[in-house]
Amino acid sequence: MIGFNKYFKEHNLKFDPVNNCWVGIEGHNILGEPNLVTSISEKSEYRWNRIFKSWIDEKGNSMMSSSSDNLRLEIEKTFGVIVKEKNWQHWNGGLFLFNADSLSFLKIWRDWTIEVFNLKRHLTYL
């Protein structure tokens, strides 16, 4: 597994804070938009809220907070693991410390991740 910073360094990519976009070695925007935030705002009903660092809709509702039980139900359906907490949300960042005693957990985590990537009902791109 390769770290985020190492990947971008190896591929000569960096974030341009002036134009709010990722650029390649020659300074060209790799996503093809001069300013991705502006482009999304112009082409959709969503706006970037710089104070809360979150996308909002026309009514000011955050698009980053969801309230769904689908993840918990899919984990049970796919892996037979019961998550008792309703509307359970997965970890999104943080510090995780592992040692040699964690190997079996990490192997299961890796195997299940690969399995989910191969399930068509879990695809998140077109």
This prediction's pTM: 0.43
Q: Are residues 49 and 13 in the same domain?
A: yes
Q: Are residues 44 and 76 in the same domain?
A: no
Domain of 102? 70-122
Answer whether residue 62 is part of any domain: no
Answer whether residue 44 is part of any domain: yes
Task: Give the pLDDT confidence score for residue 10 in this predicted structure.
Answer: 79
Answer whether residue 65 is part of any domain: no
Q: Are residues 42 and 83 in the same domain?
A: no
The residue out of 19, 34, 56 marking a domain boundary is 56
Task: Give the pLDDT confidence score for residue 81 in this predicted structure.
Answer: 92
Strands (E), 3-120: 14-16, 21-23, 47-49, 54-56
Task: Give the pLDDT confidence score for residue 1 in this predicted structure.
Answer: 44
The residue out of 18, 34, 56 marking a domain boundary is 56
Q: Are residues 78 and 36 in the same domain?
A: no
Question: Is pLDDT larger for residue 6 or for residue 116?
Answer: 116
CB 108 within 8 A of CB 116: no
Question: Is pLDDT larger for residue 67 or for residue 46?
Answer: 46
Write out pLDDT tens, residues 72-125: 888 899 999 999 988 887 777 777 888 999 999 999 989 998 888 888 877 665
Amino acid at 23: V
Token look-up 């892996």 returns 79
Q: Are residues 12 and 47 in the same domain?
A: yes
Write out pLDDT tens, residues 27-62: 777 766 667 778 778 888 888 888 877 788 888 888
Domain count, the chain: 2
Answer whether residue 22 is part of any domain: yes
Task: Give the pLDDT confidence score for residue 82 in this predicted structure.
Answer: 93
Answer whether residue 63 is part of any domain: no
Task: Give the pLDDT confidence score for residue 2 in this predicted structure.
Answer: 52
Q: Are residues 52 and 79 in the same domain?
A: no
List Cβ neighbours of 40 (8 Å cut-off, separation of 6 or more).
46, 48, 55
On the 0-12 / 13-18 / 19+ scale of CB atoms within 10 A, 49 is middle
Question: Is pLDDT larger for residue 18 or for residue 33?
Answer: 18
Confidence of residue 126 (pLDDT cuts 50, 70, 90): very low
